[in-house]
Amino acid sequence: MISRPVVAAISINLSQALQLCIDTFFYRKLACVPLNIILYNVFSGSGKGPNIYGIEPWHFYVRNLILNFNVWFLLALITLPLLIFQHFLRRQSASKQTLLRGLVFATPLYLWLGIFTLQPHKEERFMYPAYPALALNAAVSIHILLSYFGSTDPRDFVSRIPAQLKLAIVSIFILGALDFGVLRAIGMATAYSAPLKIYAPLQRPGVAHPGDNVCLGKEWYRFPSSYFLPNRVKAKFIKSDFSGLLPGEFSEAKVGFGFYPGAWLIPSGMNDENKEDLSKYVSSEGLCARTGWLLTFKQTDIEHCTFLVDSYFPGTRPSEHEPSYMLDTDTWDRLSCEHFLDTPQTGSVGRLLWLPDWPIIPERHRRKWGQYCLLRRRNQSGKFVQ
């Protein structure tokens, strides 16, 4: 009979071999993506690697996870001590096999959190794969605590607490944590969902046409996906105060490049040093290049933008590259607008949780709003560009 470790090792190797084959097929070269991630994030040379995108202090993930998981993250952190406590200090201790199994299940969260905490460059999305492990650890901790809290052994102090009081304490704790999480989720959805809503009018007949460009300036990093745009309507970039590398476009070649060329043909101007590539901006030269003219890039040409995504916050000053386009009503019409949280003007409570905009809420705690809009260009006669 094959042991479980051997079965696990075989399963891991088979899954990695399958992934290697799939990645090699799509990338047209031998590619081990997990290894590449480690090489880039951990062993990159000086001046390269993820640190060029910013670094954060060691407590970044702790603060972030407490904010989004509140007490459940704290419970997940104490799983290992609770398992040891249950085994060595409880009178009805678990077996060694149970302890070993618990340690195996609890360890991944600590490993993941420790490895990524040591990396100077940190992002919230790096914790996404560890969310299931966090939930498991929190469940194990709450189970151990409830087992002890519900003890009826006269030798345990908690056995002297009336059952009704125990129920009240547990109910307040669980419901309070759930309510906090719900208010947090509603707060995020109502404060920052505008980029997922404003593109809906483009799907209406007669609004957008093939060849139209939806331009993004300072809001480029909030663009959700090209799937939000109609067919043959493109997302393009205009110059903003951001001076790093913008995303490139996947190749749409149909002839002479084999299967799925967009997966392996590298867009022009890409680099691993976050250096600005001027060819990423929409321009007359870039458009003419499609017709066969060999021209060089000169400057951003916003005249080729049929639509434009812009945000406006009363407390923010415009700049040379980030003017308030939506205030230019002679050139742009507001096709779709949604509220977007004005973070600098909103207090801590309003940023953390959902708060209703009621008069009884103190002014310092109320959420302040800006506008997030999809604009449509007017022509010189004031009519919309068709």
Residue entry with tokens 């290697």: 20
Tens-digit pLDDT profile for residues 298-311: 445 799 999 999 99
Helices (H) and strands (E) in the chain, counts: 10, 5
Give pLDDT, residue 216: 97
Cα–Cα distance for residue pair 333/326, rounded to 1 Å:
7
Average pLDDT, stretch 257-282? 89
Average pLDDT, stretch 41-68? 86
Give pLDDT, residue 291: 37
Average pLDDT, stretch 100-118? 92
Give pLDDT, residue 153: 72
Average pLDDT, stretch 251-275? 86
Residues 6+ apart with CB under 8 A from 298: 283, 284, 285
Please report, to the nearest 10 degrees, the dihedral formed by the alpha carbons of residues 148, 153, 158, 161 taken in order.
130
Give pLDDT, residue 92: 58
Give the E-state strand segments of 252-382 in sequence order.
307-312, 332-341, 369-377
Give pLDDT, residue 93: 59
Cα–Cα distance for residue pair 232/346, rounded to 1 Å:
39
Higher pLDDT, 183 or 283: 183
Give pLDDT, residue 342: 96
Asked if 137 and 106 touch (Cβ cutoff 8 Å), the reply is yes
Cα–Cα distance for residue pair 25/64, rounded to 1 Å:
37
% of the chain residues with pLDDT over 70: 91
Cα–Cα distance for residue pair 86/80, rounded to 1 Å:
10
Q: Is the pLDDT of residue 86 over 70?
A: yes
The pLDDT-based confidence of 151 (bands split at 50, 70, 90) is confident
Strands lying side by side in the sheet with 307-312: 234-237, 213-216, 307-312, 369-377, 332-341
The pLDDT-based confidence of 385 (bands split at 50, 70, 90) is low
What single DSSP character describes residue 337? Answer: E
Average pLDDT, stretch 144-160? 79
Nearest-CA neighbor of 355 among 187, 106, 132, 137? 187
Tens-digit pLDDT profile for residues 330-365: 999 999 999 999 999 999 999 999 999 888 999 999
Give pLDDT, residue 300: 54
The pLDDT-based confidence of 384 (bands split at 50, 70, 90) is low
Coil, helix or strand for 42? helix
Bridge partner residues of 339 (DSSP): 371
- Mean pLDDT (the chain) is 87
Average pLDDT, stretch 107-119? 94
% of the chain residues with pLDDT over 90: 62
Cα–Cα distance for residue pair 172/248, rounded to 1 Å:
50
